[in-house]
């Protein structure tokens, strides 16, 4: 099978898995990360096959498992890749990306060991900021029953992974606890400049939000 056909087949499998799952984990997030990672790869020098497989499988653990097993994603990805007779070296490189990619709170460093992983992580972080990031953040907060904004509840920086996961803070706080920090955590030059543009958009958005909240003319 050609690499291109493998990527298409894996994309179809991932889409099907996520669509069959009622928990609302979102194929379209995967799709955006895949497209963005491809765009970054056009400029940064990387192995496109590894980037595409890493992007498509980066959240595969969330499809089925959501407990604390941080290697669940890598194991699930391996099962899928073995269906396509992919060599062990390639599988290992994809698994490394998946196990390293998740963001665990702003106090915890999550270094990526390969350029391909850096690109997938940048693409994943880019999907958390800008117009899509704002929409995702409010959708998530609404789903959890959180208020949009409470002026008296201040953002909490430097949280542990536990407190980050269990936060019940208003959605606006999440901008300060995660979204606005991401532009300084990009790995690649291309990712950085995409993040700068999306960051500026969020700052404009927040200014408008507070102006409207306070009834400014
Ligand atoms: Ni993701």
For residue 25, the CA-to-ligand 1 centroid distance in Å is 10
Q: Is the pLDDT of residue 103 over 80?
A: no
Write down the pLDDT at residue 26. Answer: 85
pTM over 0.85: yes
Q: Is the pLDDT of residue 109 over 80?
A: no
Bin 110: left if φ > 0, else alpha if -120 < ψ < 50, else beta. Answer: beta
Residue among 126, 116, 149 nearest 49 (CA): 116
Cα-based angle 75, 56, 65 (whole degrees, multiple of 5): 40
Q: Is the pLDDT of residue 8 over 70?
A: yes
Q: Is the pLDDT of residue 20 over 80?
A: no
Nearest-Å Rg of the Cα atoms of the chain is 18
CB 118 within 8 A of CB 187: yes
User: Mean pLDDT throughout 193-197?
Assistant: 98
* Exposure string over 107-122, b if 16+ CB within 10 A, otherwise e: eeeeebebbbbbbbbb
For residue 215, the CA-to-ligand 1 centroid distance in Å is 36
Mean pLDDT taken over the chain: 89
For residue 59, the CA-to-ligand 1 centroid distance in Å is 5
Q: Token match 């002026």: residue?
A: 151
């Amino acid at each position: 099978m050609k690499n291109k056909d493998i990527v298409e087949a894996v994309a179809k499998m991932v889409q099907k898995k996520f669509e069959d799952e009622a928990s609302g984990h979102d194929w379209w997030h995967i799709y955006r990360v895949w497209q963005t990672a491809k765009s970054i790869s056009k400029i940064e020098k990387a192995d496109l096959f590894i980037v595409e497989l890493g992007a498509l499988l980066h959240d595969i653990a969330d499809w089925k498992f959501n407990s604390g097993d941080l290697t669940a994603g890598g194991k699930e990805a391996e099962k899928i890749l073995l269906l396509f007779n992919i060599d062990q070296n390639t599988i290992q490189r994809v698994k490394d990306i998946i196990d390293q990619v998740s963001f665990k709170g702003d106090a915890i460093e999550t270094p990526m060991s390969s350029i391909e992983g850096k690109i997938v992580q940048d693409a994943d972080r880019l999907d958390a900021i800008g117009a899509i990031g704002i929409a995702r953040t409010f959708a998530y907060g609404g789903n959890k029953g959180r208020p949009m904004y409470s002026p008296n509840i201040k953002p909490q920086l430097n949280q542990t992974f536990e407190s980050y996961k269990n936060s019940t803070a208003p959605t606006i706080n999440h901008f300060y606890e995660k979204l606005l920090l991401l532009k300084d955590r990009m790995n690649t030059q291309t990712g950085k400049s995409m993040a700068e543009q999306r960051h500026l958009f969020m700052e404009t958005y927040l200014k408008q939000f507070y102006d409207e909240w306070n009834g400014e003319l």
